[in-house]
């Protein structure tokens, strides 16, 4: 009399909508939690999911319930020592004394509601509302690449595009039509016509049709420029690293392919690999211009702006001297900003240094909307700065 | 050991559809033919653990409307499951006709058999037999109604916005405990009838609409006097019902949503009242049925060991001072009580004859059946908890009185204490003791349209802080000022607070 039904193949994610609703509702909480996690986590495993915790009382659904106070009796099991009339000190009201245990609907004995965000959700929240500047234009508007693709068949074309099978199919159909149906009718006006139906005719010919489809450029190159002179200590490099890593993460999400070029400079610029970029201490002065020139050279050699979205990220303590800051500004504006999608500069001031560095002062005068600059003093600043950078830019380009 | 001719249904621990079916037949045969359990037909569904989580999140129903709180439940269960805090409870069964039970695919064969015995014959017969379920729920219509509710809420979300619908549901959920008729049998649910009623209501509004009415000057003074006087004449305990019918500001679709939450609360009402009995009954029967299978040699001793392992886990009652104590375990107490009743019938001792003269030595099956059909947790404990069990569980009562800064042990498992402990434990299962008594007492239809709720304090017990939020929800649903008046048992007023809709 029982019916058995195998439901295992049914939809498994019935609760997905509700889960989504929940996340929507507590977005603020989640965002805060994610922000905390990012602050404390090493950049290498930033892209993991994570456990987030929301205070129970924030998500509790209210109801009319009894509060503390008044008279009541409770029955419990497991008495070993008590006799009627014994007195037990009252546990603290907030403590989870045993008097509380029995109340219906008091919820979990946890102080926080903990649950796990998947990697995707984590990153989604992390990158939430960070719109890539001018991204829309690059991807959907600024068409730079053209790709040919099949688009059916045409009756005209060059011999090398002739599609033989298709053409013969046409010919077969034509011959069948001409010979088969209404044999009598065909024969009547033109006796013997059937014998003269050609095997292949010009109308049978079919050519492959190829059209050119504009393709959005889906590759980006990110230039990491960093001052590695003596004044850039480990702490500062660490900050810079986080900044680069975040930008990189962000780009990998938006582009299919992301190249990273590391350029370090003292008074002379070099292209290096990541390890050398972040490791190694160097001595020497600071000539920012050299790095910019090298970047320009690499772009010219390998990354044509028509095929690559170019992003620049520069980190420095801004400790430049003489004419260098002004020259750099000029070069940046004229040579690099014209080809870049976006260029960001972060200034990592030394502890007791005056509030503005020479480079900062110069860069501040750049007004192009796809240039941004920010000051970062501690690890906790990185994340908000990152958000602000893009928010500001998104606001301008919108 | 007597040599039993063994003919086990299966020996391995993996299950197949064929085996599950054969177990179901074997168990069903014993349950229905030998023990005469009266059951709905079973619909047994095999699901994955993920689907089980889904089902858990939507209070066990196979389908439900969307709301964030179900997402919260889902996340809570999921987190607990991942952490291994709780293996998913073994079974989930829905009070419907046919009775739907879920089997999880990761279960072993023994587990599947256990679940079949527990859910498909234990719970199933309880749903069909117990008077609360018979009176208060319509097992035939619930699934249809859920489908209707889901569609309706989805439509509202589309027409009026997700946020508006969700806030409304929040407000209704906060009051869902107060959306229950306790003394009146609700009309049976019917999705078709609901739809028809909705359409009718709307069509009526459209057909009666005439802009000219606006211009007709107001009149009829005499008639109004009839309406004066206190309204409602009697306090109303069903807050959601009152709001649905009388709220001055709700739109028709909002009323319908209030109604949906109310109807579902009504459906779940008996479950909260019979948790102890329901679980006890199902546990008693899976224990009995599987032991019978073993006696007949249809299952192996390996099967029995695994079953007993799970069974003991389920019926463990921790003492108040042990780790993991979470109040009385309904499985443990319920199982013990049903077993105890059987024992009293079969081999009563002197004490039992004194305490239970009318059942001692009777036909245990009849007595059990009678108890299952005609009691709820409160009355069941009040009637059938024996002194022997009080001793076994070492129950004791402590009193927490406001005037004392200490707890006092009220009574323990001794001759003077038995009745008192039993009475107090029964009261603990009384819904009225758990839920504050709040009723609608006044609706100023002639005045400012305000609504007054009265909280009658039970032994000076105050409301928790949450009531503030709940009252704001009430104000939102009502659309005009709402007052919460707190009175003591003797009727003297303690406090009044007014909430205005935002």
Query: Which residues neighbour A315 within 8 Å (Cβ) at sequence distance 6 or greater?
Result: A224, A225, A226, A227, A236, A239, A240, A243, A244, A345, A346, A348
Contact flag A73-B399 (C-beta cutoff 8 Å): yes
- The residues in A 44-73 lying below 8 A from B, measured between CB atoms, are 59-73
Does A360 share its domain with A382? yes
What's the angle, vertex CA A294, arms to CA A283 and CA A250, rounded to 5? 95
Strand ranges across the sheet with B92-94:
A3-6, B42-47, B99-104, B92-94
Residue with tokens 């023990």: B35
Structure confidence at residue A31 (pLDDT): 77
Nearest Cβ partner for B69 among A61, A65, A104: A61
**Mean predicted confidence (pLDDT) in B252-256:** 92
Structure confidence at residue A94 (pLDDT): 45
Q: What are phi and psi of B451, to 5 degrees?
A: -120, 135
B354 — pLDDT class (breaks 50, 70, 90): very high
The answer to whether A320 touches A328, Cβ cutoff 8 Å, is yes
In this structure, is residue A188 part of a structural domain?
A: yes
A142 vs B37 pLDDT, higher one: B37
Strand partners, B103: B46
**Mean predicted confidence (pLDDT) in B415-426:** 92
ipTM over 0.85: no
Structure confidence at residue B334 (pLDDT): 94
pLDDT tops 50 at residue B3: no
The 3-state DSSP class for residue B128 equals: helix
Query: Which residues neighbour A283 within 8 Å (Cβ) at sequence distance 6 or greater?
Result: A229, A230, A266
pLDDT tops 90 at residue A366: no
Q: What is the mean pLDDT of chain B?
A: 87
Query: Where does a domain end: A176, A199, A214?
Result: A214
B84 — pLDDT class (breaks 50, 70, 90): low
Structure confidence at residue B425 (pLDDT): 94
The answer to whether A318 touches A287, Cβ cutoff 8 Å, is no
Structure confidence at residue A325 (pLDDT): 86
Domain that holds residue A264: 219-397
Does A246 share its domain with A177? no
The answer to whether B426 touches A75, Cβ cutoff 8 Å, is no
Residues of chain B contacting residue A66, judged by C-beta atoms under 8 Å apart: 434, 436, 461-464
Does A237 share its domain with A348? yes
Query: Which residues neighbour B63 within 8 Å (Cβ) at sequence distance 6 or greater?
Result: B143, B146, B147, B150
Does A276 share its domain with A182? no
A281 — pLDDT class (breaks 50, 70, 90): low
**Mean predicted confidence (pLDDT) in B196-225:** 73
Name the least confident of A7-11, A210-214, A377-381: A377-381
B456-465 confidence digits (pLDDT tens): 988 888 998 8
Query: Distance (Å, rounded) from C-alpha B375 to C-alpha B383?
Result: 9
pLDDT tops 90 at residue A351: no
A379 — pLDDT class (breaks 50, 70, 90): low
**Mean predicted confidence (pLDDT) in B348-376:** 92
Does A183 share its domain with A228? no
**Mean predicted confidence (pLDDT) in B353-380:** 92
Structure confidence at residue A391 (pLDDT): 58
Q: What are phi and psi of A246, to 5 degrees?
A: -65, -45
Query: Distance (Å, rounded) from C-alpha B106 to C-alpha A335?
Result: 64
In this structure, is residue A324 part of a structural domain?
A: yes
Does A244 share its domain with A334? yes
Does A282 share its domain with A299? yes
A384 — pLDDT class (breaks 50, 70, 90): low
**Mean predicted confidence (pLDDT) in A210-239:** 79
**Mean predicted confidence (pLDDT) in A122-141:** 49
Query: Where does a domain end: A126, A155, A172?
Result: A126
Does A52 share its domain with A180? no
Q: How far apart are the first and last CA of chain A?
A: 66
Contact flag B45-A6 (C-beta cutoff 8 Å): yes
The answer to whether A386 touches A376, Cβ cutoff 8 Å, is no
B231 vs A94 pLDDT, higher one: B231
In this structure, is residue A365 part of a structural domain?
A: yes
Q: How many Å separate Cα A212 from the centre of its chain?
A: 29
pLDDT tops 90 at residue B25: yes
Structure confidence at residue B26 (pLDDT): 93
Structure confidence at residue B190 (pLDDT): 75
B50 — pLDDT class (breaks 50, 70, 90): confident
Does A205 share its domain with A235? no
CB pairs under 8 A between A and B: 270
Query: Distance (Å, rounded) from C-alpha A224 to C-alpha A310?
Result: 11
pLDDT tops 70 at residue B36: yes
Does A363 share its domain with A227? yes
Task: Of A27-31, A272-276, A327-331, A364-368, give the range with the top mean pLDDT.
Answer: A327-331
Q: Alpha helix locations (H) across A72-211? A: 98-101, 119-126, 135-136, 164-179, 183-187
**Mean predicted confidence (pLDDT) in A316-321:** 80
pLDDT tops 90 at residue B125: yes
In this structure, is residue A275 part of a structural domain?
A: yes
pLDDT tops 60 at residue A96: no
Least Cα separation, residue A9 to chain B (angstroms): 8
Structure confidence at residue B382 (pLDDT): 93
**Mean predicted confidence (pLDDT) in B202-223:** 73
Q: How many domains does chain A have?
A: 3
Residues of chain B contacting residue A65, judged by C-beta atoms under 8 Å apart: 435-436, 463-464, 466-467
Least Cα separation, residue B392 to chain A (angstroms): 9
Q: What is the mean pLDDT of chain A?
A: 75
Least Cα separation, residue A46 to chain B (angstroms): 21
Structure confidence at residue B368 (pLDDT): 93
A139 — pLDDT class (breaks 50, 70, 90): very low
The answer to whether B41 touches B128, Cβ cutoff 8 Å, is no
Residue A9, judged by CB atoms within 10 A of its CB (0-12, 13-18, 19+), counts as exposed
Q: How far apart are the first and last CA of chain B?
A: 76
Closest of A75, A142, A349, A22 to residue B409, by C-alpha: A75
What's the CATH number where A312 sits? 3.40.50.410
In this structure, is residue A382 part of a structural domain?
A: yes
Measured over the CA atoms of residue A159, residue A160, residue A164 and residue A166, the dihedral's sign is negative
Contact flag B68-A18 (C-beta cutoff 8 Å): yes
Strand partners, B102: B45, B92
Mutate: best of B54, B165, B458, partner A, most A CBs <10 A: B54
Structure confidence at residue A396 (pLDDT): 43
pLDDT tops 80 at residue A100: no
Nearest Cβ partner for B46 among A8, A12, A66: A8
Name the least confident of B175-189, B231-245, B348-362, B420-434: B175-189
The answer to whether B24 touches B46, Cβ cutoff 8 Å, is no
**Mean predicted confidence (pLDDT) in B148-157:** 92
pLDDT tops 50 at residue A134: no
Structure confidence at residue B4 (pLDDT): 53
Closest of A387, A377, A379 to residue A355, by C-alpha: A377
Structure confidence at residue A191 (pLDDT): 57
Contact flag B320-A5 (C-beta cutoff 8 Å): no
- What percentage of chain B carries pLDDT values higher than 90? 45
Name the least confident of A12-26, A382-396, B135-149, B350-364: A382-396
Query: Distance (Å, rounded) from C-alpha A61 to C-alpha B174?
Result: 7
Query: Which residues neighbour A125 within 8 Å (Cβ) at sequence distance 6 or greater?
Result: A27, A30, A31, A34, A117
Does A195 share its domain with A278? no
Query: Distance (Å, rounded) from C-alpha A217 to C-alpha A239?
Result: 31
- pTM for the predicted model, two decimal places: 0.70
Structure confidence at residue A311 (pLDDT): 87
Mutate: best of B92, B177, B398, B420, partner A, most A CBs <10 A: B398
**Mean predicted confidence (pLDDT) in B83-95:** 67
pLDDT tops 50 at residue B209: yes
- The residues in A 71-110 lying below 8 A from B, measured between CB atoms, are 71-80, 82-90, 98-99, 101-102, 104-105, 108
Residue with tokens 């929940």: A22
Structure confidence at residue A106 (pLDDT): 37
pLDDT tops 90 at residue B344: yes
pLDDT tops 90 at residue B94: no
In this structure, is residue A95 part of a structural domain?
A: no
- SS3 letters for B182-217? CCCCCCCCCHHHHHHHHHHHHHHHHHHCCHHHHHCC
Structure confidence at residue A166 (pLDDT): 92
- What percentage of chain B carries pLDDT values higher than 70? 94
Structure confidence at residue B290 (pLDDT): 93
pLDDT tops 90 at residue A214: no
Query: Where does a domain end: A183, A214, A245?
Result: A214
**Mean predicted confidence (pLDDT) in B348-375:** 92
Does A202 share its domain with A223? no
Task: Of A72-76, B245-249, B369-373, give the range with the top mean pLDDT.
Answer: B369-373
In this structure, is residue A78 part of a structural domain?
A: no
pLDDT tops 70 at residue A152: yes
pLDDT tops 60 at residue B225: no
Measured over the CA atoms of residue A177, residue A179, residue A181 and residue A185, the dihedral's sign is positive
Query: Distance (Å, rounded) from C-alpha B356 to C-alpha B255?
Result: 50
A29 — pLDDT class (breaks 50, 70, 90): confident
pLDDT tops 90 at residue B453: yes
Query: Distance (Å, rounded) from C-alpha A151 to C-alpha A168?
Result: 20
Per the rule left: phi > 0, alpha: psi between -120 and 50, beta: everything else, A122 is alpha
pLDDT tops 90 at residue B170: yes
In this structure, is residue A54 part of a structural domain?
A: yes
Structure confidence at residue A389 (pLDDT): 54
């Amino acid at each position: 009399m029982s019916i058995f039904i195998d439901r295992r193949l049914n939809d498994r994610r019935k609760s997905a909508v509700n889960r989504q609703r929940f996340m929507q509702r507590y977005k603020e909480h989640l965002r805060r939690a994610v922000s905390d996690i990012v602050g404390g986590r090493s950049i290498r495993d930033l892209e993991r999911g994570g456990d987030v915790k929301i205070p129970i009382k924030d998500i509790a659904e209210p109801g009319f319930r009894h509060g503390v106070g008044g008279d009541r009796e409770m029955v419990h099991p497991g008495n070993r020592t008590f006799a009627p009339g014994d007195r037990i000190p009252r546990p603290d009201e907030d403590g989870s004394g045993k008097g509380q245990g029995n109340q219906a609907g008091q919820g979990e004995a946890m102080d926080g509601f903990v649950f796990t965000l998947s990697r995707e959700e984590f990153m989604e929240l992390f990158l939430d509302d960070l719109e890539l500047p001018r991204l829309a234009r690059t991807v959907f508007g600024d068409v730079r690449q053209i790709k040919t693709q099949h688009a059916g068949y045409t009756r005209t074309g060059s011999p090398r595009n002739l599609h033989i099978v298709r053409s013969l199919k046409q010919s077969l159909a034509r011959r069948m039509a001409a010979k088969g149906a209404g044999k009598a009718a065909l024969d009547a006006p033109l006796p013997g016509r059937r014998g003269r139906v050609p095997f292949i005719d010009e109308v049978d010919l079919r050519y492959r049709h190829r059209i050119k489809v504009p393709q959005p450029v889906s590759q980006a190159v990110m230039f990491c420029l960093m001052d590695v002179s003596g004044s850039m200590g480990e702490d500062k490099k660490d900050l810079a690293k986080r900044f680069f890593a975040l930008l990189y993460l962000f780009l990998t999400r938006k582009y299919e392919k992301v190249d990273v070029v590391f350029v370090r400079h003292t008074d002379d610029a070099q292209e290096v690999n990541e390890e050398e970029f972040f490791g190694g201490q160097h001595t020497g002065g600071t000539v920012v211009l050299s790095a910019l020139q090298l970047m320009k050279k690499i772009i010219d050699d390998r990354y044509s702006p028509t095929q690559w979205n170019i992003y620049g990220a520069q980190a420095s303590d801004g400790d430049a001297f003489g004419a260098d800051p002004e020259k750099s500004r000029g070069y940046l504006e004229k040579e690099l900003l014209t080809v870049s999608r976006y260029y960001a500069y972060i200034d990592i001031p030394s502890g007791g240094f005056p509030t503005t560095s020479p480079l900062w002062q110069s860069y501040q005068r750049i007004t192009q909307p796809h240039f941004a600059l920010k000051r970062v003093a501690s690890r906790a600043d990185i994340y908000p700065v990152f958000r602000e950078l893009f928010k500001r830019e998104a606001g301008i380009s919108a | 050991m007597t040599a039993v001719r063994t003919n086990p249904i299966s020996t391995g621990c993996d299950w197949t559809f064929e085996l599950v079916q054969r177990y179901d037949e074997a168990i069903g045969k014993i349950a229905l033919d030998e023990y005469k359990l009266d059951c709905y037909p079973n619909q047994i569904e095999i699901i994955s653990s993920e689907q089980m989580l889904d089902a858990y999140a939507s209070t066990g129903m196979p389908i439900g409307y969307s709301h964030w709180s179900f997402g919260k439940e889902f996340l809570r269960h999921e987190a607990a499951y991942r952490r291994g805090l709780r293996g998913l409870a073994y079974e989930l069964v829905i009070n419907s006709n046919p009775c739907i039970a879920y089997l999880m695919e990761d279960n072993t064969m023994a587990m599947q058999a256990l679940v079949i015995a527990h859910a498909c014959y234990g719970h199933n017969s309880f749903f069909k037999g117990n008077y609360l379920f018979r009176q208060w729920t319509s097992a035939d219509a619930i699934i249809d109604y859920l489908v209707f509710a889901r569609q309706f809420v989805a439509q509202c979300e589309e027409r009026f916005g997700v946020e508006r619908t969700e806030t409304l549901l929040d407000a209704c959920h906060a009051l869902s405990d107060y959306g229950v008729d306790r003394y009146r049998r609700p009309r049976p649910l019917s999705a078709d009838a609901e739809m028809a009623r909705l359409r009718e209501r709307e069509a009526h509004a459209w057909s009666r609409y005439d802009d000219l009415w606006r211009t007709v000057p107001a009149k009829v003074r005499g008639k109004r006097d009839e309406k004066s006087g206190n309204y409602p004449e009697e306090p109303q305990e069903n807050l959601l019902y009152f709001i649905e019918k009388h709220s001055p500001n709700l739109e028709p679709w909002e009323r319908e949503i209030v109604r949906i939450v109310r109807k579902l609360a009504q459906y779940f009402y008996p479950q909260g009242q019979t948790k102890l009995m329901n679980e006890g009954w199902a546990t008693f029967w899976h224990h009995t049925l599987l032991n019978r299978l073993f006696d007949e040699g249809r299952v192996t001793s390996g099967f029995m060991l695994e079953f007993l392992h799970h069974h003991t886990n389920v019926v463990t009652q921790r003492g108040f001072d042990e780790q993991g104590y979470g109040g009385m375990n309904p499985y443990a107490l319920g199982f013990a009580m049903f077993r105890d009743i059987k024992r009293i019938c079969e081999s009563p001792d002197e004490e039992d004859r004194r305490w239970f003269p009318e059942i001692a030595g009777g036909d245990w099956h009849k007595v059990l059946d009678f108890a299952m059909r005609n009691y709820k947790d409160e009355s069941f404990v009040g009637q059938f908890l024996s002194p022997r069990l009080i001793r076994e569980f070492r129950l004791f009562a402590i009193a927490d009185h406001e005037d004392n800064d200490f707890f006092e042990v009220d009574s323990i498992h001794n001759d003077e204490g038995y009745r008192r402990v039993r009475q107090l434990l029964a009261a603990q299962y009384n819904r009225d003791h758990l839920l504050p008594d709040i009723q609608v007492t006044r609706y100023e239809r002639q005045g400012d349209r305000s609504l007054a709720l009265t909280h009658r304090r039970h032994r000076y017990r105050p409301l928790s802080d949450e009531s503030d939020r709940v009252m704001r929800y009430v104000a939102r649903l009502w659309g005009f000022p709402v007052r919460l008046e707190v009175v003591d048992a003797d009727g003297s007023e303690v406090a009044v607070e007014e909430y205005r809709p935002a």
